[in-house]
Structure 1
Amino acid sequence: MAYLCATRPGNDAVLLTATDLTKTFGQGADAVHVLRGVSLALDKGQTLALTGESGSGKSTLMHLIAGLDAPDSGRILLDGSDIAHLSDTGRAAIRRSTVGLVFQQFNLIPSLTVRDNISFQARLSGKVDAAWMAELAHRLGLTAQLALYPEQLSGGQQQRVAVGRTLAARPKLVLADEPTGNLDEVTGDAVLALMLELVADTGAGFLMVTHSARLADRMDRRIHLSKGRIA
């Protein structure tokens, strides 16, 4: 079992602890062992980059932490709750209340305006705060675009809307899977800078999957996955 850092029982700063996570897809000769006993810990307010080659298990690990899937074995403690083996309904409730997700694909709702896309997750979680959403729009440079629709925006603007949607609900943990992968370097750097600034302001933990060593260097810590293990 390899820990990125030692867990600290009783330490209120610890937001996330994942212990000995395994995940296999397929059976028998077709089985693919994607995660082979991965353990890590993340404190509140910390940023962590997760790197590794394609197929190393990065996205699978993030999906388990997000509650989008369940591990075959192991434990995931998120803000004091063991989410590893919750039902689909239970994991969905955790995603609404505690976790925010940003993906490479913007996943905006085309029929909703920028304003309504930003407020979407907050409304689902019952955490609508008009003043906070207005501040997010201002700081993300979207105030003038609030009445527009996603198809009327540039890629960088769409990703900023996705960031706003995630942070509007003030999640305790923000997970980002290659959030700048569809953007040019300059735009991607600007989006990541905004994310880091806003996440720091909310005190959330931040875990980002990235192939970029340059972007990973901007995080507090980095771990590297190789063949389903921490290298």
Structure 2
Amino acid sequence: MLLRLRDLHKSFTGAEGPVPVLRGVDLDLEAGESLALTGESGSGKSTLLHLVGGLDRPDAGSIALDGARVEALDDSGRAALRRGTVGVVFQQFNLIPSLSVGDNIAFQARLAGRHDARRAMMLAERLGLAPHLSKYPEQLSGGQQQRTAIARTLAARPRLVLADEPTGNLDETTAEAVLGAMLELVSETGAALLMVTHSEHHAARMGRRLHLHAGRIA
């Protein structure tokens, strides 16, 4: 089992005290599997992704990822996990404005010590970015920027890809193309994909789906 969550709890502090967001979530994900996580706004979907990616800590429960207990890692351990094991694609592209498209694609892989120029070029070609490698993010369309973010994530060969509404800022046609390319490339690497989405259509393209309601898997 690549990812196993058990009895995961998380609350945030509100004006009148703690506000529970996750209330005992269990989840299993195998290597090579794709899973859509759906749910209304405020149900805890993004919070769950942030906990799995080591961007935040749970109040209680366990996160076992590729042999590591994520909740027990210190800051440097969680940063190392994000460099080598977990790749994250956000709705916001989070590209580095001062770097070219080619250097943005290579950035994460270089941090992980896994840069492979041939793989980076393959990803650029498959994602339609080869003609744009010398450009800067501000010169790209939204769809091209999200493709660059996906290439950057996959260039580092993560075991698990977390995607938080990765096509939420794109028009329907572009979103379809970007999602299709991401699903195809993730599948080829044997990585697992956990994607948060509001789209029933996009959720249906995943191997399976779970629904989060009021902080629990419904």
TM tier, shorter chain? over 0.9
Task: Report the CA distance between 1:80 and its aligned residue.
Answer: 1.2
Structure 2 match to 1:135: 122
1:187 aligns with 2:174: yes
Structure 2 match to 1:40: 27
* Count of aligned pairs between the two proteins: 218
Q: Go from structure 1 to structure 2 and tell me whether the alpha carbon gap of 1:212 and 1:92 turns closer, same or farther (over 3 Å shift).
A: same
1:69 aligns with 2:56: yes
How far apart are the structure 2 equivalents of 1:76 and 1:111? 35
Structure 2 match to 1:59: 46
2:118 corresponds to which letter in structure 1? A
How far apart are the structure 2 equivalents of 1:154 and 1:219? 26
* Deviation digits for residues 106-150 of structure 1 (CA, Å, limit 9, x no counterpart): 010111000000000001111001110010011011111000000
2:109 corresponds to which letter in structure 1? A
Structure 1 length-normalised TM = 0.93
* Deviation digits for residues 12-61 of structure 1 (CA, Å, limit 9, x no counterpart): xx110010000011179321100000010000000000000000000000
1:29 corresponds to which letter in structure 2? E
How far apart are the structure 1 equivalents of 2:70 and 2:96? 28
CA RMSD of aligned residues (A): 0.9
- After superposition, residues 1-231 of structure 1 pair within 5 angstroms as 14-26=1-13, 29-231=16-218
Structure 2 length-normalised TM = 0.98
How far apart are the structure 2 equivalents of 1:216 and 1:82? 28
Q: Is the 8 A contact 1:44 1:204 kept in 2?
A: yes
Instruction: Give SS of 1:141's match.
Output: coil
Structure 2 match to 1:3: none
Which residues of structure 2 form unaligned runs of 5+? none
2:176 corresponds to which letter in structure 1? D
How far apart are the structure 2 equivalents of 1:86 and 1:25? 21
Q: Is the 8 A contact 1:122 1:169 kept in 2?
A: yes
Runs of 4+ that moved beyond 6 A? none
Q: Between 82-91 and 116-125, report the one with greater CA deviation.
A: 82-91
How far apart are the structure 1 equivalents of 2:70 and 2:169? 31
